[in-house]
Structure formats: C-alpha cells, structure tokens
Amino acid sequence: MVDLLGRLRLAPRRSEHVACADGEEVLAAGELRFRLDAGQPTVAEVSNLSTGYCPDVTCWAAVARALAPLGLHPPTGFTVAMDFRRCLACGEVTLVKERWFVCTFCDADLPSDWNVSLAREVDVE
C-alpha cells in the first residue's frame, strides 16, 4: 500500500492491507509482483486488488509516484485493474467483473463511478 506520505509499504501477500497500514487511510493499496530482469528488480504485475480498501483505479498515480524513486521501472498503469462499487440499495461493496455493474448481493444496478469511500448510509429494508 502507499501511505498518506506517499511511501510504499510492503507486506506478504496473504496479509491484510489494513494491517500493513496500521488501520490508517492510504493513497493506494493492491498487489505487487516483482521479477529480476538482468539482475535488476522490476515490477512484473501491479493491481489495485485490495478488499480491505477497495481503491479506485485512479490511485495509480500514487503508486507510480511511490515506485519511481525506487528505480523499479513501473509499468504505465495497473497490469490488473479492479472496479469496486458500493451498492446504493444494500450498502455492500461489489467487485465488478466483466464490466457487469450489478450488485452481487441484491442484483441492483451499481453506479458507473467509484463510490466506495461513501459511508454506509443507505437504509437496508
């Protein structure tokens, strides 16, 4: 994850981003995979896959800024980009797959714009 100071913080893949961030807000969260190219570490894959933060794809800018000074030659964007949306009908967060903007939990249509940061203020009836 990228903390609020723009620092890249890494943890093992099976750990939680929220724990890595000590429960604080973040600029970005997701998964990174490195590889060695001619003995130099490079970024092979990078995503915004974080079920703890469900970040928008726009957090790429923070990721690029955090990686650049490390000499890791990041790609030009997420190699795998996730679309998370909060359902306005039931309040649950859904990972949108294949551009199908329908809530996994209640079948309501999901907003086209990222809205996960919205607090759960919907009435569930």
Interface with Zn ion, residue 89, by CB under 5 A: yes
Q: Which residues contact 20 (CB under 8 A, 6 or more apart)?
A: 1, 9, 10, 11
* Distance separating the N- and C-terminal Cα atoms of the chain: 35
**What would the x/- binding string for Zn ion be over residues 30 to 69, using CB under 5 A?**
----------------------------------------
Q: Is 100 in the site for Zn ion (CB under 5 A)?
A: no
CB of 121 to Zn ion, least distance (A): 14
Stretch that binds Zn ion, among 2-10, 77-85, 98-106, 111-119 (CB under 5 A): 98-106
Q: Does 108 bind Zn ion (CB under 5 A)?
A: yes
CB of 30 to Zn ion, least distance (A): 24
Residues 3 and 30: beta-carbon distance below 8 Å = no
Helix (H) or strand (E) holding 61: helix 60-67
d(CA 8, CA 59): 13
Give the footprint of Zn ion on this chain (CB under 5 A): 87, 89-90, 103, 105-106, 108
